[in-house]
A = this chain, B = another copy of it.
Amino acid sequence: MRSYDQYCGLARSLEVVGDRWNLLIVRELLISPARYRDLQTGLPGIATNLLADRLRHLEATGVVERRLAGESNAVEYALTAWGAELRTPIEGLLRWSLPLMVSGPKDSDTFRPTWLALAIPALLDSRATARPATAIGLDVGGELLQLSATESGFEVDPHDGRPLEATVRADPAGLLGLAAGALDVDTAQALGLVDIDGDDAIVRAAFAC
């Protein structure tokens, strides 16, 4: 990134994360630390030279940490504490993007259920008042995720095998609509966007907050 040469926080932020792919790499690492190969598959379409380039830049600027993890001293990338603070502006953009998402995926779009691990909490937290202590399974695209309420907000993680109070088989766009409050459970069911297994009062409570 060529410098903007402006003494402005936004310009300086963009010199660090404004280049193409940078924020999407941060997105992947906010979901979880990852290997080089994981990043390639989580970022369909990125050229390998660009990924290497961006990772070097993000490491040099203090956003990303490169470390050797595990038995085999495998290369692993993770966010630094400062890099993880990008969660807030990214959640802001996720909320802002809602009008762009309601139309659903294009045919050419790839979709990874793990991306919901950022979007659902961002949408729910922005309107949360009561927080039921709930663990709900989200079966989206065949992958089972787990929505749970914590003290600090909502979390979506890979299902860890613990018993779930209900399971929602859902279409990605429908799930976002529910999380944003743009859609209620009855309508979503009527439209065939979600299919609830178990007590749907639990699901209603979680998405009605």
0/1 interface trace, chain A 78-110, chain B, CB 8 Å (1 if under): 000010011011101111111111001110111
Judge whether B23 and A20 touch: CB under 8 Å: no
Classify the interface of chain A: helix, strand, loop or mixed.
helix
Q: Which of A10, A24, A90, A98 has the most chain B CB atoms inside 10 A of its CB?
A: A10
A14 at the interface (CB under 8 A from B): yes
* Cβ contact within 8 Å between B5 and A109: yes
B92 engages A88 (CB within 8 Å): yes
Whether B89 pairs with A4 at a CB distance below 8 angstroms is: no
| Chain B CB within 8 A of A11 CB | yes
**With A10-B23, A119-B9 given, is the CB distance from A93 to B89 under 8 Å?**
yes
Whole-angstrom distance between the alpha carbons of A111 and B109 in the complex? 41
A44 and B89 form a contact (CB under 8 A): no
A196: shortest Cβ distance to chain B, in Å? 22
Cα distance A45–B8 when bound, in Å?
A: 14
Query: Known contacts A4-B45, A18-B20: does B94 contact A10 (CB below 8 Å)?
Result: yes
Residues of A bordering B, CB below 8 Å? 3-14, 16, 18, 20, 23-24, 27, 44-45, 82, 85-86, 88-90, 92-101, 104-106, 108-112, 115, 118-119, 172-173, 176
Between A and B, 13 residue pairs with Cβ closer than 8 Å are: A3-B108, A8-B112, A8-B115, A9-B93, A9-B94, A9-B101, A10-B23, A10-B24, A10-B93, A13-B97, A14-B93, A18-B23, A82-B99
